[in-house]
């Protein structure tokens, strides 16, 4: 404490008396004045400015003036003693650090700074001998917030050059720093955008190109130095002469602050191709003046091409629609006709001018209008085309025209924009179909008559032949002739019956008397019926039928017909071995199999044998005994029972015919459909 300079001693004593802030600064000023020349420079600017006029003022006044300056100074001022403890500060310092008198009194100067910063200050400045310096650093507020400052230090030197204290003038530069940072960031951002954009960008200042982006360099094949510093007209290699006036006009105008509308221009690229560009020229200005002109070229070659294609395509479709033999119309979302082609005009007997903008449904017959509405709603809802719908159109003369219509929705900008309909006149087709139906009906009727006419004489013939065979008086010769005749009569009867069945099936007039059936019983009965025929061929009959199987719903007569047919075929095409009948309970159905060890069926023919009149090649005359209708009838009957029939075979070895018939509960649904009148 001995060496303490007077000023500090006085200040200390006064501080103890609590008079510090009201006390004299004359001594302080004296010290400052002693170092007069140092104040010439910035760090001491506050004192410096006011020093001269104050020198001649009496001490009292000087004091007051100084106090006023210190207190009202726009920057924070702190004065510290030789132990770096704050002994004086101004109002601004309190505001800046958010501290009050008790916070600031005797506060160690170093605690204002983050540790790192304080180290820097000591190292950079305090350790050096200078008495004043200015630096950017960081300080801490009472709240702990660290902020950017610029501090001007002035070291107060006492006798022998000893530091007796220091004055700090602190300027808050945090806002300034933030703006500067932001500015830097946005500068880099703009530079990045400038470089990254795929458009050509050229920046001109006073008519001279001062910057270009990467896209421009890549397109032109030039280096930056080839372009920068050049005038626009120097670059006719990229910007062809013919369009130069367009560019110049736009650039000139923009440099006067007037932006002209965008224009198209062709440019020649590095690879010699011509591309179409859309140019826009903008001026760049700051608050005061226009600084430069930015030229931007957007490659619209693809767009132009797509547009040309579209025009061509639309033209193509227009011609297509105009010349189409079918009617073509488009309707808007409200159902109004927006386009009709000549064929449609003809179809409904009205002129385009009469029907455009009217509702399409007005030309649909009353009978089919509901259906038509339904289709248009569906097409719109599902956003899918609906094809081959038969409706009726009402012609202006009152006639009804049968039509087939296809409806497809079309969208614009992902939104439903309406429907395109193609309409075909099917009057002729209907006529042919009706003719066909008529002739089908006639054919069936004819077949029925023929079959019945054939059947009726055969029955008595068969009866008489039976009589001859069992007549004891008839000679063996006669009996053997009668047997041959009977076999042929039976074949004829089978053929007639098969033809009748086929015609019933084809016209959907076969009668099915559906009832609950016990499959075990039917199979056992038929097996027994077949036994003599099997044994006469010295074949073995194997039956594999479980005692317990679920019932099915079916027509007993027709199912028996199927089983018999499969049995008969098995016997017919087997010369050695066995015939096996099996039944098995499956998940929802009964599986029945007829297996033989006969001649088998070739792979090719497996698919065909269920066709009408198909007989596989057997290499002998066995097929003469059949009609080629049996399996077709079987398949149809099984399908009427909701069942399936298929065959597996190995040629020369065996054949297996399988039937799958669903259980009772599954059948009920189909009962009504199957109960046709015969």
> Which residues here bind ligand ADP, judged by CB under 6 A?
565, 569-570, 573, 596, 598-601, 609, 614-616, 618, 623, 626-632, 655
Shortest separation between residue 670's beta carbon and ligand ADP, angstroms: 25
Shortest separation between residue 613's beta carbon and ligand ADP, angstroms: 8
Q: Which of 543, 529, 545, 527 is nearest to 580 (CA)?
A: 543
Shortest separation between residue 558's beta carbon and ligand ADP, angstroms: 15
**Which tokens belong to 496?**
């007639």
Distance CA 116, CA 146 (A): 12
- CB closer to ligand ADP out of 161 and 619: 619
Shortest separation between residue 570's beta carbon and ligand ADP, angstroms: 5
Shortest separation between residue 581's beta carbon and ligand ADP, angstroms: 13
Closest chain position to ligand ADP (CB): 626
- CB closer to ligand ADP out of 35 and 656: 656
- The CA-based angle 406-407-409, given to 5 degrees, is 150
Shortest separation between residue 655's beta carbon and ligand ADP, angstroms: 4
**Which tokens belong to 240?**
């062809």
Q: How deeply is 422 buried, as exposed, middle or buried, from its count of CB atoms within 10 A (0-12, 13-18, 19+)? A: buried
Give the SS3 label for residue 98.
Answer: coil
- CB closer to ligand ADP out of 298 and 623: 623
- CB closer to ligand ADP out of 211 and 627: 627
- CB closer to ligand ADP out of 12 and 491: 491
- CB closer to ligand ADP out of 600 and 643: 600
- CB closer to ligand ADP out of 219 and 567: 567
- CB closer to ligand ADP out of 254 and 530: 530
For the chain, how big is the Rg over CA atoms in Å? 56
- CB closer to ligand ADP out of 394 and 655: 655
- CB closer to ligand ADP out of 108 and 575: 575
List Cβ neighbours of 53 (8 Å cut-off, separation of 6 or more): none
Shortest separation between residue 449's beta carbon and ligand ADP, angstroms: 24
Asked if 448 contacts 500 with a C-beta cutoff of 8 angstroms, the reply is yes
**Which tokens belong to 532?**
């003599």
- Print burial letters for 375-413: b (CB count within 10 Å at least 16), e (below 16): bbeebeeeeeebeebebbbbbeeeeebbbbbbbebeeee
The per-residue DSSP string of 436-501 comes to HHHHHHHHHHHHHHHHHHHHHHHHHHHHHHHHHHH-TTS-HHHHHHHHHHHHHHHHHHHHHHHHHH
Distance CA 423, CA 426 (A): 9
Angle of helix 556-572 relative to helix 519-536, nearest 10 degrees? Answer: 30
Shortest separation between residue 375's beta carbon and ligand ADP, angstroms: 43
Shortest separation between residue 634's beta carbon and ligand ADP, angstroms: 7
Residue 555 CA: distances (Å) to CA of 502, 510, 583, 632, 669: 17, 11, 18, 17, 15
Shortest separation between residue 654's beta carbon and ligand ADP, angstroms: 8
């Amino acid at each position: 404490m001995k060496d303490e300079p007077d000023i500090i001693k006085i200040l200390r004593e006064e501080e103890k008396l609590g008079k510090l802030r009201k006390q004299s600064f004359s001594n302080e000023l004296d010290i400052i004045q002693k170092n007069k020349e140092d104040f010439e420079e910035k760090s001491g600017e506050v004192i410096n400015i006011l020093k001269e006029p104050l020198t001649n003022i009496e001490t009292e006044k000087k004091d007051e003036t100084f106090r006023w300056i210190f207190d009202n100074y726009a920057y924070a001022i702190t004065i510290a003693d030789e132990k770096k403890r704050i002994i004086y500060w101004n109002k601004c310092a309190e505001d800046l650090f958010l501290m009050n008198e008790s916070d600031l009194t005797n506060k160690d100067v170093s605690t204002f700074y983050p540790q790192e910063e304080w180290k820097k200050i000591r190292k950079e400045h305090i350790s050096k001998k200078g008495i004043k310096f200015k630096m950017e650093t960081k300080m801490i507020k009472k709240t702990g917030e660290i902020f950017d400052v610029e501090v001007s230090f002035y070291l107060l030197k006492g006798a022998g050059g000893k530091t007796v204290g220091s004055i700090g003038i602190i300027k808050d530069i945090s806002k300034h720093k933030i703006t500067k940072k932001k500015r830097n960031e946005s500068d880099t951002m703009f530079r990045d955008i400038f470089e990254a954009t795929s458009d050509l960008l050229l920046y001109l200042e006073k008519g001279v190109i001062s910057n270009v982006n990467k896209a421009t360099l890549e397109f032109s094949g030039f280096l930056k130095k080839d372009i920068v510093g050049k005038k626009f007209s120097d670059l006719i290699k990229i910007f062809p002469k013919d369009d130069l006036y367009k560019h110049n006009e736009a650039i000139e105008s923009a440099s006067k602050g007037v932006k002209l509308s965008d224009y198209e221009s062709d440019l020649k690229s590095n690879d010699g191709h011509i591309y179409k560009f859309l140019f826009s020229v903008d001026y760049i200005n700051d608050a005061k003046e226009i600084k430069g002109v930015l030229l931007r070229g957007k490659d619209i070659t693809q767009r132009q091409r797509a547009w040309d294609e579209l025009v061509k395509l639309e033209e193509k479709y227009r011609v297509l629609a105009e010349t189409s033999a079918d009617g073509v119309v488009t309707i808007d979302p409200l159902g109004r006709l927006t386009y009709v082609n000549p064929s449609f005009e003809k179809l409904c007997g009205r002129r385009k001018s009469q029907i455009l903008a009217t509702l399409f449904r007005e030309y649909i017959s009353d009978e089919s209008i509901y259906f038509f509405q339904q289709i248009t709603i569906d097409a719109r809802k599902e956003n899918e085309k609906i094809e081959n719908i038969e409706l009726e159109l009402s012609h202006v003369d009152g006639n009804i025209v049968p039509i087939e219509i296809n409806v497809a929705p079309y969208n614009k900008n992902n939104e439903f924009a309406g429907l395109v309909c193609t309409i075909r006149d099917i009057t002729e087709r209907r006529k042919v179909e009706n003719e066909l139906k008529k002739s089908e009906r006639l054919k069936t009727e004819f077949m029925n008559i023929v079959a019945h006419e054939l059947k009726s004489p055969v029955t008595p013939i068969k009866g008489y032949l039976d009589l001859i065979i069992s007549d004891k008086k008839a000679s063996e010769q006669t009996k053997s002739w009668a047997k041959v005749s009977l076999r042929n009569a039976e074949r004829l009867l089978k053929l007639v019956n098969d033809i009748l069945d086929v015609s019933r099936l084809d016209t959907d007039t076969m009668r099915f008397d559906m009832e609950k059936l016990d499959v075990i019983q039917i199979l056992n009965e038929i097996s027994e019926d077949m036994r003599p025929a099997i044994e006469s061929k010295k074949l073995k009959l194997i039956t594999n039928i479980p005692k317990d199987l679920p019932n099915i719903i079916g027509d007993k007569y027709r199912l028996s017909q199927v089983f018999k047919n499969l049995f008969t075929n098995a016997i017919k095409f087997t010369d050695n071995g066995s015939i096996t009948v099996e039944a098995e309970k499956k998940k929802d159905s009964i599986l029945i199999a007829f297996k033989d060890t006969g001649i088998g069926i070739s792979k090719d023919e497996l698919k065909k044998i269920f066709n009408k009149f198909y007989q596989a090649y057997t290499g002998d005359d066995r097929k003469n005994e059949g009609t080629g209708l049996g399996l077709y009838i079987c398949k149809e009957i099984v399908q009427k029972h909701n069942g399936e029939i298929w065959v597996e075979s190995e040629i020369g070895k065996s054949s297996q015919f399988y039937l799958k018939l669903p259980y009772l509960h599954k059948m009920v649904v189909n009962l009504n459909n199957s109960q046709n009148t015969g």
